[in-house]
Structure formats: C-alpha cells, structure tokens
Amino acid sequence: MLTATTNLLAVAGVFGVGLIIGLVVLMTAEDALTAVAKTAARDISGSFWVGLLWQLLAVPLLVVMLVACALTIIGILVIPIAALAWALAYAGAFTLGILAVALVIGRALAGRGGANNSERSAAVRGLAVGLITLSAIWFGAAIAANVPVAGALARLIAVAFTWAVATVGLGAVVKSRMGVAQLSVRFGGSRFGGSRFGVSGFTSRWGAASTTTTTEVAAPGWQTPTPVQGVVAARRPVSTDHGTGNGAEL
C-alpha cells in the first residue's frame, strides 16, 4: 500500500511540474507550441517515424560532434559544454513535443469550449486536459503497482504509451523545424479557431493557410527602366529623316 501511495504522489508531482512548464511555454512560446501541435495533428504517423529516426540518430550524431570537437585543442575544451548542449536540446525537443501532443489530445477531448472563450483560455484548457489524460495512465499504473501481474502490465502500457507520445512529439518538432518555420503562417485566421479534431485517431482538419496574391503589371514598352520610382521618363521620338551630312542639322 505504501508503494502505491508513493507512486501516486510521484505521478501527481510530475503532473504538477509538467503543467507549470506547459503554462510557461504557452505564455512565452505559444506560436512555437502551436506550430508543433499543428504538425503533430496533421501527420501523426509521419511525425512518429521522423521522431523514431532522430532517436536512433541521437547517439551517432553526438559521437560525430564530439569527434569533430576533439580535432582541435580548443574543441577538446568545449566537449563537456557541447555534450551538455546536445542533451539539453534533445530534452527541450522532447518536452515541447509532449506538450504539443498533450495540447492536441486535450483539444480533441475538450473542444474549444464556449463561444466567449478566448484562444488563450481554450489552449490552457486543452493543455490541462491533455496532461491529465497522459497522467491518468500513470495513475492507473501506480494504483495497480501492488498487484504482481497487473501492476507490471499497467506499467509497461504506460511506458509504451508515453514513449509513443514523446516520439510523435519529437518528430513534430523536427518536421516543424523546431516550431519556427510556420510561425508566420496563419491558419484559418486564428491559431486554433479553424481546427477540428476527430476523436478517432485524433485526426485534424486545420484551417487552410491564408495567402496573399500579388499581381505583377508589366510596364509599357515606352517606359524607360529606372531604379527610382516616380516619374518615368518617356522615350524621345527619333526622326527618321536623314541629314545632309554637312553638319547643318545639328
């Protein structure tokens, strides 16, 4: 009984820390979180395979980076810093990805809410519901911890599900170029206003990105190309009459 209580407290603590981190990310990097969430919702399977590939490449890429640093004396000195930065980069990518997937799950289950709710409040609600959903699996594993077979099976399911969510999130972070490439793109006029999540498979129909069409007007043939906008000089008509050749027409 003591083990189950300890596990429940641990899960509750992790949930609390995750919720605080999620709120901080939502308040400070909402655009990046939104971009990653959109990528994960649009292509779950593709994000999973990309995330799995980057998990497999994590150690080889780290080895290559450390070997490259070891080629110079200055590089040898920065090997610990490079390794720490590499670990922090992966940890940050996993954290952002898990929060994005939690946001997708929460919006699929809770929806947008009332018509008077703002986008920020809807995002906070979706993030909280998503994190609660992810934590519920671990709460179940903690409750069943004292049961020999059921406890081990529940823990295995929780680990597998969390790993799948983290893999999808990592792939979404990579596909969205760390949440930067799509920051200037507006979907349906709002971040989440045009989205609909399907409960089955968490499929998503995001609003199409708005595009601005520019029409290029060809300049008339009589205009003279000039880098300065303003009055365009007209081409002076040239007389086709031939001179006398003695210079009197000048």
Cα–Cα distances in angstroms (integers) from residue 31 to residues 123, 160, 180, 217, in the given order: 11, 29, 8, 36
Cα–Cα distances in angstroms (integers) from residue 208 to residues 19, 38, 43, 123, in the given order: 30, 12, 15, 19
**Residue 217 confidence (pLDDT):** 45
Strands 196-197 and 204-205: antiparallel
Hey, what are 238's tokens?
A: 């040239």
Helix 44-69 and helix 79-110, axial crossing angle in degrees, nearest 10: 170
**Residue 211 confidence (pLDDT):** 41
Q: Say what the pTM is.
A: 0.66
Look up residue 73 and give its amino acid.
I
**Residue 139 confidence (pLDDT):** 87
Beta bridge partners of 196: 205
**Residue 14 confidence (pLDDT):** 86
Report, as ranges of residue numbers, the positions in the chain whose pLDDT lies below 70. Answer: 1-2, 4, 112-117, 178-250
Task: For residues 15 and 21, give the distance between their C-alpha atoms in angstroms, rounded to a whole number.
Answer: 10
Compute the C-alpha angle 199/205/211, nearest 5°. Answer: 165
